């Protein structure tokens, strides 16, 4: 990830993958583009940070021609969606969600995969913003301003497919980490999407995304994140992330970036694809599930 300046710098950039609620509050009105990337029941729930625009992962910012949810749109459609939301290549962007750090990490990773680095995640999300006493608007995220000039410039290797993950599972230099709960990883808890097999990829290690967060949804300190990743990946530096539908895998990507890793990829189809009935191998059991400390 390219170096970034301090949130208060004249260049207007952000200092890294995370920004705190108070620092974000100081930026409101300075031209920072703020996105609400909440999903599911939290999307359009009627409470937002003032000025937030919708980064709709359930809508135009997923590829609905795909058989699995939350698939990355192609560069043309991503460009069109971001321009319609008023984003310029020179903008600074902050993303948040209503659950803490959940789907906002997906928006952050998508922007990076499309060549845009001037983006940060609100640490702790909307709950942290409200807990810090900052104001909210009682309306869904919206944008009706002029179009932007954003252009996607896709980076190879940040979003990968099933064949790439299969090769990584056989690569002794790589680790595949599964962000789902321990029960879903082991196959003892049901999958929320019908028709999927239970269990995990052979050779993948479980690292539930919640283990990377403190109570309240803020990310753990970098040294604690590093410890968790070193244990789960058994010292390997090339990391691939999977989850249910490519969303919380990006929380792992965020945590690994904070921990100092830079050779990272997210499996876009994740378990929604791999877990379908078919020839992809699946195993059950709870070996190699890392419990965070």
The catalytic site residues sit at: 243
> Encoding tokens for residue 114?
């499309």
What is the dihedral sign for C-alpha 213, 14, 87, 269? negative
Structure-token pair, residue 130: 């409200």
Tokens 């283990």 -> residue: 211
CA distance 36 to 49: 8
The CA distance from 218 to 213, in Å, is 5
Provide the token pair at 210: 């919640």
Residues in the chain: 293
**Closest residue by Cα to residue 191 from 201, 180, 178:** 180
* Other beta carbons less than 10 A from residue 235's beta carbon: 8
CA distance linking residue 87 with residue 173, whole number of Å = 38
The radius of gyration of the chain's CA atoms, rounded to the nearest angstrom, is 18
Report d(CA 121, CA 269) in Å as an integer.
Answer: 23
d(CA 160, CA 190): 26
CB 33 within 8 A of CB 107: no
Rounded to whole angstroms, the Cα distance separating 140 from 234 reads 43
């Amino acid at each position: 990830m390219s170096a970034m300046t301090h949130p208060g710098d004249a260049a207007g950039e952000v200092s890294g993958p995370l920004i705190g609620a108070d620092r974000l509050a100081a930026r409101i009105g300075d031209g920072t583009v703020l996105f609400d990337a909440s999903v599911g029941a939290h999307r359009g729930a009627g409470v937002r940070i003032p000025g937030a625009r919708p980064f709709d992962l359930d809508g135009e910012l997923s590829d609905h021609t795909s058989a699995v949810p939350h698939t990355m749109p192609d560069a043309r459609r991503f460009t069109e969606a971001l321009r319609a939301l008023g984003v310029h290549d020179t903008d600074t962007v902050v993303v948040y969600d209503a659950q803490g750090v959940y789907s906002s990490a997906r928006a952050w990773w998508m922007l990076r995969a499309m060549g845009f680095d001037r983006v940060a995640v609100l640490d702790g999300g909307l709950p942290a913003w409200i807990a810090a006493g900052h104001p909210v608007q009682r309306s869904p995220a919206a944008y009706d301003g002029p179009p932007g000039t954003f252009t996607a410039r896709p980076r190879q290797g940040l979003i990968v497919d099933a064949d790439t993950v299969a090769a990584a599972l056989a690569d002794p230099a790589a680790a595949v980490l599964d962000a789902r709960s321990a029960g879903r990883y082991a196959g003892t808890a049901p999958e929320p999407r019908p028709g999927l097999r239970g269990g995990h990829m052979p050779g993948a290690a479980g690292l539930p995304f919640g283990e990377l967060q403190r109570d309240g949804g803020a990310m753990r300190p970098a040294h604690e994140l590093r410890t968790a990743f070193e244990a789960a990946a058994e010292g390997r530096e090339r990391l691939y992330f999977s989850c249910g539908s490519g969303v919380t895998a990006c929380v792992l990507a965020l945590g690994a970036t904070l921990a100092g890793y830079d050779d990272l990829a997210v499996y876009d189809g994740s378990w929604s694809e791999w877990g379908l009935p078919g020839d992809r191998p699946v195993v059950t059991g709870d070996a190699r599930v890392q419990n965070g400390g």
